[in-house]
Amino acid sequence: MTRTAQPLEAAPELLDPSQLHTSLSNRDRPVMKVLKESLREAQQRMDDAFRQGEDIRRLIYGRAWVLDQILDAAWSQFAWPSAHQAALIAVGGYGRGELHPFSDIDILLLFDQIDPNECQDSISGFLTLLWDIGLDLGSSVRTIDQCYDEARNDITIATNLIESRTLCGDPALQNEMYDRVTSEGAWTDKEFFKAKLAEQKERHEKTNNTEYNLEPNLKNSPGGLRDLQTVGWVAKRHFGATYIRDLVDHGFLTEPELDTLNKGELYLWTVRYALHMLCKRREDRLLFDHQRALATYFGYEDQEGALAVEQFMSKYYRVAMAMSEFNDMLLQHFDEAILRIDDEQSIQPLNNRFQIRNNYLEAVYDKVFEHHPFAIMELFVLMAQHPDIQGVRASTIRLVRNHRHLIDNDFRKDIRNTSLFMELLRSPERVSTELKRMNRYGILGLYLPEFGKIVGQMQHDLFHIYTVDAHTLKVIQKMRQFRHREYREQFSIAHRIVNQLPKIELLYIAGLYHDIAKGRGGDHSELGSDDVIAFCRRHHLGKWDTHLVAWLVRNHLKMSMTAQRRDISDPEVIHAFAMEVRDLVHLDYLYVLTVADINATNHTLWNSWRATLLRQLYMDTKRSLRRGLENPINKEDRIEQVQHEAMLLLARQGIREQDIFDHWALLGDDYFLREDAHNIAWHTQAILEHGDSPLPLVLIRKTSYRVFEGATEIFIYSEDLPTLFPATVAAMDQLHLNIQDARIILTDHGRTLNTYTVLTDDNQPLSENPEYLANIQRHLTEELDDPEDYPEIIQRRVPRQLKLFATPTRLTLSNDPSSQQTILEVITPDRPGLLARIGRIFVEFGISVRKAKISSIGERVEDFFFITDSNNQPISDPELCRQLQQAICQQLDEHVQKQ
- Is the residue at 5 inside a domain? no
Rounded Cα–Cα distance for residues 621 and 573 (Å): 10
- Region 819-842: mean pLDDT is 86
Same structural domain for residues 262 and 114? no
pLDDT class for 7, splitting at 50, 70, 90? low
Residue 542 CB partners (closer than 8 Å, separation 6+): none
Q: Between the ranges 362-366, 721-725, 849-853, where is the mean pLDDT highest?
A: 362-366
* CATH number (domain holding residue 116): 3.30.460.10
Note whether 733 and 879 are same-domain residues.
yes
Looking at the structure, do residues 230 and 308 belong to the same domain, yes or no? yes
Does residue 198 lie within any of the structural domains? no
Whether residue 194 lies inside any domain: the answer is no
Whether residue 880 is predicted with pLDDT greater than 70 in this model: the reply is yes
Beta bridge partners of 306: 303
* pLDDT of amino acid 519: 85
Which residue, 565, 600, 627, sits at the end of a domain? Answer: 627
Measure the CA–CA gap between 371 and 373, rounded to whole angstroms.
6
- pLDDT of residue 807 exceeding 80, the answer is no
Show the 3-state SS of 281-296.
CCCCECCHHHHHHHHH
**Could you tell me what percent of the chain has a pLDDT over 90?**
64
Cα–Cα dist 585/581, whole Å: 9
Contact 201/130 with Cβ under 8 angstroms? no
Q: What is the pLDDT of residues 389-421, one digit of tens each?
A: 999 999 999 999 999 999 999 999 999 999 999
At position 116, the amino acid (one-letter code) is P
Q: What are 576-586's pLDDT values in tens digits? A: 999 999 999 99
Amino acid at 820: Q
- Alpha-carbon span 526 to 341, nearest angstrom: 54
Pair (373, 499) in one structural domain: no
Rounded to a whole number of angstroms, the CA Rg of the chain reads: 34
What pLDDT is attached to residue 2? Answer: 35
Does the pLDDT of residue 615 top 50, yes or no? yes
Residue 387 lies in a domain: yes
Buried b (16+ CB within 10 A) or exposed e, 285-309: bbbbebbbbbbebeebeeeeebbbb
Q: d(Cα 308, Cα 302) in Å, to the nearest integer? A: 4
Cα maximum dimension of the chain: 106
- Domain hosting residue 386, numbered range: 343-446
In a domain, 674, yes or no: yes
pLDDT value, residue 674: 82
Say how far apart CA 802 and CA 860 lie, in whole Å: 9
Q: Please state, in angstroms and rounded to a whole number, the distance separating the CA atoms of residues 381 and 386.
A: 9
pLDDT one-digit tens code per residue, 171-187: 999 999 999 999 988 89
The region, left, alpha or beta by phi > 0 then psi within -120 to 50, assigned to residue 313 is alpha
Given a contact cutoff of 8 angstroms between Cβ atoms, the answer to whether 829 and 859 are in contact is yes
5 pLDDT exceeds 80? no
The verdict on residue 8 lying in a domain is no
Question: What is the distance between the alpha carbons of residues 72 and 68, in angstroms, rounded to a whole number?
Answer: 6
Using CA atoms of 723, 725, 726, 729 in order, give the dihedral in degrees to the nearest 10. Answer: 150
The answer to whether the CB of 20 falls within 8 A of the CB of 73 is yes
Model pTM score: 0.86
Has residue 457 got a pLDDT over 50? Answer: yes
Q: List the one residue out of 546, 538, 2, 460 whose CA is nearest residue 232.
A: 2
Beta bridge partners of 356: 348, 361
Q: For residue 801, what pLDDT is reported?
A: 58
Q: pLDDT at position 604, please?
A: 72
Are the C-beta atoms of 553 and 533 separated by less than 8 Å? Answer: no
Question: Which candidate, 872, 889, 888, 877, places its Cα nearest to that of 819?
Answer: 872
Residues 621 and 686 in one domain: no
Task: Specify the pLDDT at position 707.
Answer: 46
- Which of 287, 312, 342 lies at the terminal end of a domain, its last residue? 342
Task: Over range 747-752, report the average pLDDT.
Answer: 86
- DSSP-derived secondary structure for 849-889: EEEEE--EETTEEEEEEEEE-TTSS----HHHHHHHHHHHH
360 pairs with which residues across the strands? 357, 391
CATH code: domain of residue 259: 1.20.120
In this structure, which amino acid lies at residue 693?
Answer: S
- The pLDDT score that the predictor gives to residue 544 is 97
pLDDT (average), residues 721-730:
87
Residues 530 and 577 grouped into a single domain:
yes
Q: How confident is the model at residue 802 (pLDDT cuts 50, 70, 90)?
A: low
Q: How confident is the model at residue 740 (pLDDT cuts 50, 70, 90)?
A: confident
Please report which helix (H) or strand (E) contains residue 787, including its range. Answer: none
Residue 553 pLDDT more than 90?
Answer: yes
Residue 10, domain member (yes or no): no
**376 and 322 in a common domain:** no
Average per-residue pLDDT for the chain: 90
Task: Report whether 169 contacts 88 (CB < 8 A).
Answer: yes
pLDDT, residue 460, reads 64
Percent share of the chain, pLDDT over 70 = 95
Q: What is the pLDDT of residue 303?
A: 86
Q: Is residue 302 domain-resident?
A: yes
pLDDT confidence of 26, banded at 50, 70, 90?
Answer: confident
Interval 63-114: pLDDT, tens: 999 999 999 999 999 999 876 789 999 999 999 999 999 999 999 999 987 7
Count: domains in the chain? 5
Residue 78: φ, ψ to 5°: -125, 160
Measured distance CA(246)–CA(251) in Å, rounded: 9
Instruction: Give CA separation, 317 vs 94, 232, 298, 313, 853, in Å.
Output: 27, 22, 16, 6, 37
* 172 and 216, same domain (yes or no): no
Residues 620 and 737 in one domain: no
**459 and 441 assigned to the same domain:** no
Averaged over 530-549, what is the pLDDT?
98
Residues 258 and 308 in one domain: yes
For 755-779, what is the mean pLDDT?
A: 88
Query: Where a domain ends, among 153, 187, 221?
Result: 187
Residues 825 and 733 in one domain: yes
Residues constituting the chain:
899
Q: Are 215 and 286 in contact (CB under 8 A)?
A: yes
> Do 834 and 761 meet the contact criterion of CB atoms below 8 Å apart?
no
Asked if 226 contacts 159 with a C-beta cutoff of 8 angstroms, the reply is: no
